[in-house]
Amino acid sequence: MKHRISALFFTLCAVLTGRIVLAGPPFLTDDPEPVDYRHWEAYVFSVYDLSVNATSFQAPALEFNVGAASNLQIHLVAPCAWNRPGGSRTQSGWGDVELGFKYRFVQETENGPQIGVFPTVELPTGSAQRGLGNGQAWFKIPLWIQKSWGPWTTYGGAGWAINHAPGQRDHAFGGWLLQRDLSKWLTLGGETFAQGADAENGRGFTIANVGGIINLKPGFSLLFSAGHSSQGERHTVAYLGLYWTWGPAASGPPHP
């Protein structure tokens, strides 16, 4: 598997007014590559989002992925959420739990990319009244594509979010990323990620984001990223996480 991440203690994260939802840690763009069969991934991470209307965090947040079958991954994220609207005091508590699965239906070849889907549902376990959740279940249905050559990997895609909670709206999202293995210990990359307006009084935005993976030892990595909106609604985002992977055979670093 490649990049996944998880976080430490202070940099927190959430996503409220401009509800940015992390995809393929440490980036917003995700990939189609599932966890290997009978292998596990675990992350402890935090995410930070500063927008014009609020400062949001998730920390600590936990992510678990398991290879349930060949080309099939089961996915769970359980966060603690923090929200500080402009001029108000900070609210904290459980955030919305994310469940989903990733299925790769086209394998990568020498000349062709791998392709997969990664539908998820956000369960309304956080308090919408306190700005810690959406209030209703909502869904994301993306398609992701990836191709690697030598130390380079590129991936991206697009999808649709379905959100019928009061004040929210359906919207499109998508992104593309390029990363390079500089050594067996370090991978760096950059992405462009765009999202349509997700609230009735909101605006869409485009974010430029850079980050990387430091492989501290086999099966254990530090992941990080930071970025800022280049157009549309203002967002400053950051991610910091710790990643573990294990399974029947020794897993390699969390990237190609």
Contact status, residue 203 vs residue 185, Cβ threshold 8 Å: no
Q: 116: Cβ–Cβ under 8 A, 6 or more apart, which residues?
A: 31, 32, 33, 34, 71, 102, 103, 104, 105, 106, 143, 144
pLDDT score at 52 = 81
Q: How far is CA 217 from CA 43, 82, 153, 246, 247, in A?
A: 15, 32, 21, 12, 15
Looking at the domain assignment, is residue 104 inside a domain?
A: yes
For residue range 28-61, list pLDDT tens digits in order.
999 999 999 999 999 999 999 998 888 888 999 9
Residue 205 in any domain: the answer is yes
**Any domain includes 227:** yes
Expressed as residue numbers, the domain containing 185 is 40-246
CB 22 within 8 A of CB 223: no
Q: Is the pLDDT of residue 240 over 70?
A: yes
The number of folded domains in the chain is 1
Residue 135 lies in a domain: yes
pLDDT of the residue at 1 = 53
State the pLDDT at residue 23. 52
State which amino acid sits at residue 152.
Answer: W
Is 28 a domain residue? no
- The pLDDT value recorded for residue 57 is 85
| pLDDT in the model for residue 251 | 45
Beta carbons of 99 and 121 less than 8 angstroms apart: yes
Whole-structure pTM over 0.95, yes or no? no
DSSP β-ladder status, 171-181 and 220-232: unpaired
- d(CA 96, CA 119) in angstroms, rounded, equals 16
8 found inside a domain: no
Q: 11 lies in a domain?
A: no
Residue 201 pLDDT: 87
Tell me what pLDDT residue 252 has.
46
Instruction: Find the CATH number of the domain harbouring 232.
Output: 2.40.160.40
Please report which confidence band the pLDDT of residue 11 belongs to, taking 50, 70 and 90 as the band edges: very low
Residue 254 lies in a domain: no
pLDDT surpasses 90 at 253: no
Per residue in 121-144, pLDDT tens? 999 999 998 889 999 999 999 999
Q: Is the pLDDT of residue 86 over 80?
A: no
Q: Is the torsion defined by CA of 229, 234, 238, 239 positive or negative?
A: negative
Q: 64 near 41, Cβ under 8 Å?
A: yes
Name the least confident of 77-81, 167-171, 247-251.
247-251
- Over 60: is that where the pLDDT of 8 sits? no
Question: What does the pLDDT look like over 167-210, one tens digit per residue?
Answer: 999 999 999 999 999 999 999 999 999 999 999 988 999 999 99
Give one DSSP letter per residue of 28-59, joined into a string: SS--S-PPPTT-EEEEEEEEEEEESSEEEEEE
| Tokens encoding 115 | 């392709």
Predicted local distance difference test score (pLDDT) of residue 96 = 96
> Which region holds residue 241: left if phi is over 0, alpha if psi is between -120 and 50, else beta?
beta
Tell me: the pLDDT tens digits for 211-223? 999 999 999 999 9
Residue 249's pLDDT is 65
Both tokens assigned to 240: 């910091």
pLDDT at 182: 97
How much is the average pLDDT of 229-255? 83
